[in-house]
Amino acid sequence: MRVSSPQAVALLAAVAIFSVHCGGKTGVKQTAGGISPARSDAPVTAEVQISQYKFTPDTIRVAVGSVIRWTNHDNVGHTVTFTAADTGRRRPMRSRAEVMQMNRPSELYSSRLFSEGQTFTAKFDQPGRFAYICDPHPYMKAVVVVQ
């Protein structure tokens, strides 16, 4: 395509700038959905136990700004994986193999696979209902309600 008129050049430049701007915007994801990884020394305000393939409590209600810690008591690995329905964001389901290879939490929506005695901690900065599952055992379902 040959672009010769000044108007066409200006239009193409505007489209290019708009595209870059939008790309940058979607790249920002520290607190999207209101869930962020918590520092290891953050004060924990609520706890969920994972035992016998269940999250207990399966519904936990916390105030905005709370830090929740999950502890795995099973001798198999589990994850805390937030589902798209409640975070408002589509996230392709990871295969078990991919979860096994993860060695750090994804930034927002899933812990790594963590084993007996290990924990996962996350901070909730926006009100909402955040459903989650365990990725390798998706019948393990629970929800965080942030008020």
Binding site for Cu ion (CB under 5 A): 78, 134, 137
CB of 55 within 8 A of CB of 137?
no
For residues 134 and 142, the answer to whether their CB atoms sit within 8 Å is no
Closest to Cu ion by CB, 78 vs 112, is: 78
- What residue is closest to Cu ion based on CB? 134
Nearest to 72 by CA among 114, 104, 134: 114
- Cα 120 to Cα 25: distance, rounded to the nearest angstrom: 28
**In the complex, least distance from residue 139 CB atom to Cu ion, rounded to whole angstroms:** 9
Distance from C-alpha of 116 to C-alpha of 74, rounded to nearest angstrom: 5
**Shortest distance, position 71 Cβ to Cu ion, whole Å:** 13
> Measured from the CB atom, is 89 or 137 closer to Cu ion?
137
Cα–Cα distance between 33 and 131 in angstroms, integer? 12
Please give the structure tokens belonging to residue 99.
Answer: 């979860």
Closer to Cu ion by CB, 122 or 134: give it.
134
Cβ atoms of residues 82 and 110 within 8 Å = yes
Residue 98 C-beta: closest distance to Cu ion, Å: 15
Compare residues 78 and 94 and give the one whose CB is closer to Cu ion: 78
CB of 105 to Cu ion, least distance (A): 15
